[in-house]
Amino acid sequence: MRHVRAFVVLSVFFLFTVPLMPFQLLFVRSRSAYARSFPHWYHRWVCKILGIRVAVEGSVESNRGVLLVSNHVSWLDIPVISSVAPVSFIAKREISTWPFVSWLAKLQRTVFVNRERKTEVTEKTSEILRRLEAGDMVVLFAEGTSSDGNTVLPFKTSLFAAVKSSKAEPVHHDISVQTLAITYRKIYGLPVGSRRRHLIGWYGDMDMGSHGWRLLGLGPLDVSIRLGPPVPLDDFADRKALARYTEERVRRDVIELARGKPLKPQSPAAPVDGEIAEPA
């Protein structure tokens, strides 16, 4: 049955996704406002297709650019987080070469960074800051890799160089920082627990294809997200202070979510009590 479910889910995903890609390409090339909002709508439907129910505590600030600093568990984090708000991502350059995945990433206006080249990180800083100052919501997976979902790995201060230097710099009044903690709590309505959470996590040398096939066959998933309060980027003296604050808060929130503090499903655009399981 798991193979049947995986086949059906994957088939519906491609049948839904492929016809929509030209529309998003048009929005991106024409610099339409829909280039931001269309992926948000799309990923809400993707979560429905995959059988993912998202519960959110808090909301993303919408009146200025926001850097969302998150832990990273699985490739599923992309549609889950994208269903909560109209976001783009900062990703490693290798993803820009992956078949099909790279197309989806580029259509969502992902910023690709070669982490091995400091000069390129510096070059990307202006692009990311420009996007944030224009009101974009940009997600940074600060661990630099994904985990098994049971722990939060140390945040790499070097990754914050794309938005914050190691020294004092000119202020950017219209940029906020928010933490985002994500944890996968249930499979088929049953608690995952630390012993089974690794079934969802995509980490180490796992092959994405085989992991995805196995994961799609597991059944419906319940995911919890907690968003921290917005803090002005300029409140942090340097990138080390920014990394330290976000790591401590994300780690604490992941632990609390994993322990099962109840959350109500909510609309990404509303206060805590909305429902986002069903796309509008």
* pLDDT given for residue 121 in this prediction: 67
Average pLDDT over residues 12-35: 97
Q: What's the rounded Cα separation, in Å, for the pair 179 and 60?
A: 10
* CB-based burial label for 164 (10 Å; 0-12, 13-18, 19+): buried
What sign does the dihedral 257-258-264-266 (CA atoms) show? positive
Tell me, yes or no, whether 273 lies in a domain.
no
Tell me, yes or no, whether 209 lies in a domain.
yes
| pLDDT exceeds cutoff 50 at 271 | no
Half-sphere exposure of 83 (CA within 13 A, CB side): 32
Tell me, yes or no, whether 246 lies in a domain.
yes
185 vs 193: which has the higher pLDDT: 185
Tell me, yes or no, whether 110 lies in a domain.
yes
Judge contact between 152 and 251, C-beta under 8 A: yes
210-221: per-residue pLDDT in tens?
Answer: 888 888 888 899
Angle at 130 between CA 127 and CA 134, to 5 degrees: 140
What is the number of structural domains in the chain? Answer: 1
Q: Which domain holds residue 110?
A: 2-258
Average pLDDT over residues 235-247: 92
Tell me, yes or no, whether 274 lies in a domain.
no
Average pLDDT over residues 61-80: 94
| pLDDT exceeds cutoff 60 at 159 | yes
* pLDDT given for residue 205 in this prediction: 72
* pLDDT given for residue 263 in this prediction: 56
Confidence of residue 169 (pLDDT cuts 50, 70, 90): low
Tell me, yes or no, whether 264 lies in a domain.
no
Q: Which domain CATH number covers 95? A: 3.40.1130
| pLDDT exceeds cutoff 60 at 248 | yes
Tell me which range, 13-27, 125-139, 172-186, 224-238, is most confidently predicted by mean pLDDT: 13-27
Tell me, yes or no, whether 56 lies in a domain.
yes
Tell me, yes or no, whether 8 lies in a domain.
yes
Bridge pairing between strands 221-227 and 175-187:
antiparallel
78-93: per-residue pLDDT in tens?
Answer: 999 999 999 999 998 8
* pLDDT given for residue 268 in this prediction: 38
Confidence of residue 60 (pLDDT cuts 50, 70, 90): very high
Average pLDDT of the chain is 85
This prediction has a pTM of: 0.87
Question: In angstroms, how far apart are the furthest CA atoms of the chain?
Answer: 57
* pLDDT given for residue 262 in this prediction: 53
